[in-house]
Chains A and B, each alone.
Chain A
Amino acid sequence: MQLTWFPVETCRARLFPLAGVPAMLLALAAWAETNVSGSVKDAITGQPLAGVQVSATRAATLLATGITGSDGVFQLFVDFPIQPQPQMLGLATAKEGYGVSSQQVIVTAGRTSLHSYRFNLLRNEAQDCVPTWARTVVVGHVRPPTAATGDLGLSQRIGEVLQYDLLSEVQKTHLPPEQQPVVLPCPKAQPRNLMEHADWARALKADAFLVGSAEPVDRKFRVDLQVSSQYGEPGLPQPASTQPLNLDRPESADIGRAALTPIMRALLKAYQKDRRFAECVEFAVAAQRVLGVKPEINKLYLDCKAQLPNQGLILSGGGQ
């Protein structure tokens, strides 16, 4: 972008007639203290976050700031002109260890459009794991085997293998790239307990969220994966295990067909939830070609088929 500087006088001369109008209107308007309140939670645990700084700004001018209490609630009083037409106000959060989050507030006649503004803050380690794609599989932390020296990059490695396993068959159906699953390795995503897996999946909007650990088996190791989903049923994540792998050759890590089943099932549920029934059917067909006919995949396949508009093409009486 090229910037052009005007002498101050020129600038004033040009801007004065226009800038003066809203300034005069503002001067005529009545001012009132507008109450902006809400709450802040940890996006993953859902627990209220204390000590979060919440700021209200308008046109880059800081109007008010406040700190959340132990219940995660904040309340700001902002001096604002009372006008019949909607005015915009920016709200932003700041807390160490968490990413910044912001929202727009609409104020009309001194009142905010919402009674309460809610923020769900993502921890810094999850910031790079937020998908920008419609269908996403996030591969979280995969703990290396105890005998291994170093990290082995198992999260990245499993992500790469998954990407190929998922796409090579799915792309044969010509599913548009925007509707194909993208695999996002996110080794820092490390739930503290099993109950937190689904919370991570929801916070990251992951259709499938994988976390695992490598366990020694004789002279090899096996990766035990836990699969959760933002659309998953309540309860514990689905377990999936790889075949025993050679510790001396971590690059040959392959999660195996059996471990793909809960991942593909989670993706199918996502297509179904989004009412993308044609994509759901096409993905299910690809899954069946990779995995064979699996009851848990077949059920979703039939459910999605039943919702297709193509059902209307079937003749009553079996075409006789």
Chain B
Amino acid sequence: MTARRGPCRLPHLAVWLLALLVMLGGISPGAFAGMPLDIEKELQLLRDGQARLHLGGSRYRFAVFTFEDPDGTGLGNALATLLANDLLMNGKVDSRGILRYVGDLGSASGERQLRYFDKIEPLIESQGVQVAVWGVIRRTESGVMIDSYTQLSPAAMREAFSYTFRLPREMERAPLVHRIGPSRLLTQRLTLAAAQAEALAGIAARLDELRAAPSDSAPVVARLPLGRVHYLLEKQGDWARVGIEGGGEGWQRASGTCVGACAPLLAVSRFASGLMSYDDRGWLPERNSALADDAKAFIDQLQVVEILNRASPDRAEAEALRILDPWCPAASASDSEAAPPPGGAALCNLRALARLVIPSREAAARHLPLEQKQLRAVAQQLALASQSDPRHVPTLKNLATLFRLLSDTNRAKLAGRLADEAAATGAAR
């Protein structure tokens, strides 16, 4: 999609590169420079092998892209600015950096004609970014519809959202694996009336104002300059003191700005931030009603993993299945009329594993293997799930393991081969 942009209403914000480092309690920011990151230029540098790391000091790294605005609403930068600002002010991880990308995700780039998710992936991989936020704004008859997406880097998926549990020693402590999915999510679909959309632009426009004191009546003493790094110095209630690299500082509202029709939008940045605080401290992201099914399914899987990891196994399996059954009912894998769940086979893979984790612990305590009947039932559930998501690597790997333990050599080989082929095509998740 080639963007046809309307008049740029927020030119100064359009090129914000927020480079933020917040050390314990939001006090000791690192000193590092920022620059506006143009998507196409960064991709070209990457192709030429000349890409360099931006904001290298931050542990948790976010990328916020200007929202695609093919209908020319003029809101593309405003939405990205609101979300980037919220990640800065209210992010739940201590050390965080927010890269701000500008440009067009809908137009094809490079020989492989990359667009959208595929275009973002090499950028965030090269920058060590764990979570990217982007979106698309579309006009409707009465206002706008905003699709917001979250994209997790392959490294983040491997390191923070992959789980392995091992079967009892009597079963060679064979590993069964799970990866939370999807890694590319529709986080929210928000519909706003035209007047509400206008209000968003007004709110975003005021985000560059820094005041002399933490008060709405205090005079504006500085404005966040074009493309300059700025960072959080301290927070006092609803206000935050922001420093600008190279000089200048002032106070800005940390909360209470994006209210009314704007407020549901913050579920997007809170979800992105929540994913990293889960990795950092094990805090589950809030399951906000403003989130789309993809995001809810992701959070539900995190919750199930927490339940299964719990020291006390009482009712763990039942609790896990209660959460997973709405996404992957016991009969759904063979039910051709059901729309597949978000994340493809991931939810059904976790459901299958949930049926083995607790029995496996109990069997291990008695130094016994699991019953073949249990393994067969789980293998069958996974085999059915793989029919609607044929290249889901964790599911195929688990099938290879289970069939090997069941001495079903042919199926074990087939599952192993399919897993290897899926991984080789790049279609693997």
Q: B-contacting residues of A (Cβ < 8 Å)?
A: 133, 156, 160-161, 163-164, 167-168, 171-178, 180, 182, 246, 249, 251-252, 254, 277-278, 281-282, 285, 288-289, 292-293, 298, 301-302, 305, 308-315, 318-320
A-B contact count (CB 8 A): 140
B113 touches A285 (CB 8 A): no
B72 touches A308 (CB 8 A): no
Q: A-contacting residues of B (Cβ < 8 Å)?
A: 1-2, 4, 68, 70-72, 106, 108, 112-118, 136, 138-141, 147, 149, 182, 184-186, 294, 336-340, 342, 344, 373, 376-377, 379-384, 386-391, 399, 403, 410-411, 414-415, 418, 425-429
How far, in whole Å, are A312 and B410 apart by their CA atoms in the complex?
A: 9
A174 touches B426 (CB 8 A): yes
Contact of A160 among B70, B141, B380 (CB under 8 A): B70
A308 touches B340 (CB 8 A): no
Given the known interface contacts A313-B399, A319-B377, the answer about A288 and B147 at a Cβ–Cβ threshold of 8 Å is no
How far, in whole Å, are A173 and B342 apart by their CA atoms in the complex?
A: 10
B427 touches A174 (CB 8 A): yes
Given the known interface contacts A252-B140, A288-B340, A320-B376, the answer about A177 and B113 at a Cβ–Cβ threshold of 8 Å is yes
Given the known interface contacts A168-B116, A174-B427, A176-B427, the answer about A278 and B391 at a Cβ–Cβ threshold of 8 Å is yes
Residues of A close to B429: CB separation below 8 A: 174
A293 touches B72 (CB 8 A): no
How far, in whole Å, are A107 and B411 apart by their CA atoms in the complex?
A: 51
State how many angstroms separate the Cβ of B374 from the closest Cβ of chain A.
10
- The binding surface of chain A is classed by DSSP as helix
A320 touches B377 (CB 8 A): yes
How far, in whole Å, are A282 and B429 apart by their CA atoms in the complex?
A: 13
How far, in whole Å, are A265 and B157 apart by their CA atoms in the complex?
A: 32
Contact of B116 among A167, A292, A305 (CB under 8 A): A167
Closest to A289 in B: B339
- The 4 A-B pairs at the shortest CB distance, nearest first, are namely A319-B380, A313-B383, A252-B139, A160-B1
B379 touches A168 (CB 8 A): no
How far, in whole Å, are A105 and B33 apart by their CA atoms in the complex?
A: 62
How far, in whole Å, are A309 and B350 apart by their CA atoms in the complex?
A: 23
Given the known interface contacts A171-B116, A251-B72, A252-B139, the answer about A311 and B340 at a Cβ–Cβ threshold of 8 Å is no
Query: Can you list 6 A-B contacts with CB-CB less than 8 angstroms, sorted by A residue number?
Result: A163-B115, A168-B116, A171-B115, A171-B184, A293-B338, A319-B381
Residues of A close to B71: CB separation below 8 A: 251-252
B425 touches A176 (CB 8 A): yes
